[in-house]
Amino acid sequence: MTMGCLILAFILVIYIAYKIYEYQKGKTFIEKITNRYVFITGCDSGFGNDLAQLLDKQGVPVIAGCLTEKGGADLKKKTSSRLRVVQIDVTDQTSIRNAVESVKRIIPRSEGLWGLVNNAGIQVLHAPLEFHSYEAIYKCLAVNLFGAIEVTNAFLPLIRKAKGRVVYTTSDCAFQSYACRGPYVISKVGLDAMAECLRRELYYAGVTFHTIQPGAFKTSIVDPEEMKSTLQKAFDAADSEVQAFYGQKWLQETKEQFVRIPNGQCEDLSGVTNALQHALFSVMPKRSYLCGTKCKFDYYLYQLPGRIHTWLRAMTPPPDAATQSDH
């Protein structure tokens, strides 16, 4: 028993010592960043837009991937002439190939791409699965998951050349599932799983992969009025049995919840952009980053027994036809 306790104590000391070393080493950043090119998708707004501005101010040669010409033009007004904009639709393979060729023309031939930030993302519909059409499910997965996979695949030769880093903006949905966000959750869990696979595949190539898991931050992905509109359209398109089960009371109360969502969101996006910057340029970046106090709290809350966690996160309001006897 004494020997067992000593071994456990030794392992604990080693673990604590390593975590302290990791923390201290992680505060050191790569010195030369002005020649390390970074390509970021989803720069029209939100995290991508803020990250592009942050890195540009620090002298990083940023290549900002924007979906729209207006998004790119607006970003250029806020940044130096060093920042370059490349238009990209992550759901279009031709657009992705064109973006790769544009990036190749921007970076010096002798250098590769140091950083790839897969940040583009959408939420199509906030509703139970029964209200999701195939088109709605596919659209969410096409941008959030398939698009990120295709972009990563296309840029990997340039990343390998620089022995660089690939970063995915996922979500707290990557470790906990929310009601009414099934396709979105699947896309984020998929990104985390993809990053884990790629860590193993390219371990000996010197390429590293990192995930950023933001909690409740205020970005354009959450628009209460649009959420209400898409929910109403999905409800109207559902068959009568589904409409009767969920009911008008559930529909109205759910819409009222949408209006209150922004009250619980953090307007300061620096918690996420700082994590993205750390993943790109720290001497010892983390594998994954929990961003936001609520996200960190929810992570530990998720460690509760499954039945308790399910009860805590059960969909509210419940469907009109649901009763306590159903459980």
Q: Which residues are catalytic?
A: 184
Q: What DSSP state is assigned to residue 174?
A: G
Q: Which residues contact 177 (CB under 8 A, 6 or more apart)?
A: 185, 313
Residue 63 to residues 30, 276, 279, Cα–Cα distance (Å) = 19, 15, 17
Other Cβ atoms within 10 Å of 143 Cβ, number = 22
- Residues 187, 141: contact at Cβ < 8 Å? yes
What 3-state DSSP class applies to 15?
helix
Q: What would the two tokens of residue 114 be? A: 């140091």
Q: Which two tokens stand for residue 54?
A: 């942050």
> Which amino acid is present at 97?
R
Record the tokens describing residue 110, joined without a space. Answer: 């002798």
Backbone angles phi, psi at 128, to 5 degrees: -60, 155
Which residues, in sequence order, are bridge partners of residue 213?
Answer: 290
- DSSP 8-state assignment for residue 144: I
Give the Cα separation of 150 and 155 in Å (integer). Answer: 9
Which positions ≥6 away from 83 have C-beta within 8 Å?
A: 52, 56, 61, 62, 63, 64, 75, 76
